[in-house]
Structure 1
């Protein structure tokens, strides 16, 4: 996480990102990107701090990338949510005052939501036992948060290990269970923009959607309203469980969720091999007109690229514009870019999220 915070430079930095994305997409005749800005401050819903001890007194510390010996001691973090900032010092003071809470505490992780919930994980260099629970429960009640204790091989959960986020997309509320330690989009407001753009780009459809890398169902839930049926795939077990719960709590019934890697999806759809995890699922009953992908930073592997080229439309969300451009070299042999977008998930850094909609030529 960057410690840089220069709001006066935000517009300049955002324009540089827009120009960089346009340059990367220029060889593919992409239209100018739709740009979705971030709030200038208090946009980050997650934060992780190491504790740095001076004369036995703990301080929140962050480090520049590649430097673990020169701490930047902080009491507030302007890029973090207001809720995180409000919790930081009361939590630290409580841990300083109670040796059971504070002894060998080395890291604090905050997870907050736009809906006002908060979960804090305290990480220790010592085993935790029952004596930790009572003061931790008192602190959790005082702060109005969920509190978890972690040490090597241990996870002590007082009540629940998740929060529930509520996002507004195209006039509808969606509820997401976000599990401690699981992946969530850090910039909630920009995530809402991403979901809204994907929904608009998808349009109304009478056929089905194939979604790869669905995670906890972040995009799956709203996109389910624009297609007859959805086949969503994800490999990580924890993400699959979260996605199943999110489908349940939102009453979404037209999504079939399967735990498969992208290369396994290719094998299943092309009939190369059967999978027991697909038992009872009739893949031939789907009529996919659109494929949605949100791959890791490495982008799409060659087999998945070959698979997605077989569909009429490709909706691609990318966390790495360089690998997106590499993938487009292949995808634009059969498809053309009709829409693109820049989502400023990570202000004051060089990172950006982008999206493209491709249609078959």
Structure 2
């Protein structure tokens, strides 16, 4: 009997094949997810009653007008380490009035490596006594704990954990900062990284990467190119990317805090940026033949699309098939799709990640 997961995956495959058929792509490569324990992040409300408190989520009515509280005692889609910690943490919080008072949410961030960061979010100010008790709890449970209340963030040790992702025969370490974006499905993420590296084979020149985040793709793909220039707008992600580059002993990557639109202006010599001058980065010294993009759900702006049309190869990872489809209307004028992939990052939802390799016609 076909599982619920397989039925939903088959529906996604059919949808993606039909949606992109007009571009005559090659055979769709499909990268499945584990059916359970695939999410490395989970966030829960804490619901208080007169004599109890528990993890909760909300279920909306069909007309979206009402929300019903759903008690969560286990969360099978989350990593096993999160499921194992949930009841232990809850019992400790219940037993301590200082740690449980006005507790509003609990956020878990786990890694395949086995590290765990827990964020405790409160509706009341945090005290020095909270600090002392939370540190004791963190040591007892061997986790990192961060406390949050309105306008306040208490970092007891560090605000990040370190993930390890295997890409073919090499392991890469990544700093993952609390509340910053990371790929939620680490096992599928490893498949995405391997696919992107395979798509990048054969270059002897340089790589441009836009929207690099914490360097998730940058690190393994740097092994396929002479040099890499990567851009990212979020400061925390830029700092994480620089930490990751140093941690992994990679010496051919430069990262700059630029949006895709700003890079286009700098590359076309339309505007000078002090951020590039201060970092001693000369964009014109690069010999790019490939560009890698992993844009936000809104896709790529028109000026950046025009810029991409000048590259020999475009490797495009998308979290929104609709904006990818729209962007391909422009890119397909100058490029053909030579690789086409679907990554099931988000089982039991309609969301998918897609990947295309485009080569100049």
* TM-score greater than 0.5 by the shorter chain: yes
Q: Which deviates more, 156-165 or 68-77?
A: 68-77
Distance (Å, rounded) in 2 between the aligned partners of 1:196 and 1:329: 27
Q: Cα deviations across residues 244-266 of structure 1 (Å, max 9, x unaligned)?
A: 10001001110111000111000
2:246 matched residue in structure 1: 248
| 2:28 corresponds to | 33
Per the alignment, in what secondary structure is the counterpart of residue 155 of structure 1?
strand
2:223 alignment counterpart? 225
Question: CA separation of 1:159/1:67 partners in 2, compared to 1, >3 Å: closer, same or farther?
Answer: farther
**Which residue of 2 is the match for residue 21 of structure 1?**
16
Instruction: Give the direction of change, closer, same or farther, for the CA distance of 1:275–1:53 in structure 2 (3 Å limit).
Output: same
The residue that corresponds to 1:340 in the other structure is 340
Shift of 1:68: 6.8
1:199 is matched with: 197
100, 115, 138: which is aligned to 1:117?
115
TM-score norm. by structure 1 comes to 0.97
Q: How does 1:1-361 map to 2 (within 5 A)?
A: 8-64=3-59, 66=64, 69-279=67-277, 280-361=280-361
Q: Following the alignment from structure 1 to structure 2, what is the Cα–Cα distance between the partners of residues 160 and 281?
A: 30
Q: In the comparison of the two structures, how many residue pairs are matched? A: 355
Quote the Cα distance in structure 2 between the aligned partners of 1:74 and 1:307.
Answer: 48
Q: Give the 3-state SS of the residue equivalent to 1:78 in structure 2.
A: coil
- How many angstroms apart in 1 are the aligned matches of 2:51 and 2:353? 41
Whole-Å Cα distance in 1 between the matches of residues 266 and 274 of structure 2?
11
Structure 1 runs not aligned, ≥5 long: 1-6
- Alpha-carbon distance between aligned partners in 2 of 1:282 and 1:135, rounded to the nearest angstrom: 50
Q: What is the Cα deviation at residue 40 of structure 1?
A: 0.6
Once residues 31 and 272 of structure 2 are traced to their aligned partners in structure 1, the CA distance between those partners, rounded to angstroms, is 42
Classify the secondary structure of the residue corresponding to 1:63: strand
Kindly state the Cα deviation for residue 204 of structure 1 after the two structures are TM-superposed. 3.2
> Is residue 59–residue 67 contact of structure 2 (8 Å, CA) maintained in 1?
no
Task: Report the alpha carbon displacement of residue 56 of structure 1 after superposing the two structures with TM.
Answer: 4.4
Tell me: CA distance 1:196–1:328, structure 2 relative to 1, closer, same or farther (3 Å): same
Contact 2:211/2:231 (8 A) holds in 1 = yes
Structure 2 Cα separation of the partners of residues 258 and 124 of structure 1: 35
* Alpha-carbon distance between aligned partners in 2 of 1:102 and 1:68, rounded to the nearest angstrom: 27
**In structure 1, distance between residues paired with 2:236 and 2:53:** 33
Q: How far apart are the structure 1 equivalents of 2:189 and 2:6? A: 19
1:3 aligns with none
Measure how far apart 1:139 and its partner are: 1.1
3-state DSSP of counterpart to 1:20: helix
Change beyond 3 A, Cα 1:52–1:69: farther
Q: Secondary structure at the match of 1:64?
A: strand
| TM-superposed deviation, 1:54 | 2.1
CA-to-aligned-CA distance 1:201-237 (integer Å, 9 cap, x gap): 1103210000000000000000000000001000000
Q: Give the alignment's TM-score, normalised by structure 2.
A: 0.97
Relative to structure 1, the CA distance from residue 215 to residue 89 in structure 2 (aligned partners, 3 Å threshold; closer, same or farther) is same
Cα distance in 2 for partners of 1:98, 1:240 equals 38
Moved more, 50-59 or 340-349: 50-59
Q: Alpha-carbon deviations, 1:126-150, whole Å to 9, x = none? A: 1112111121112111211001111
What SS is found at the alignment partner of 2:68? coil
For residues 308 and 56 of structure 1, the distance between their equivalents in structure 2, rounded to whole angstroms, comes to 60
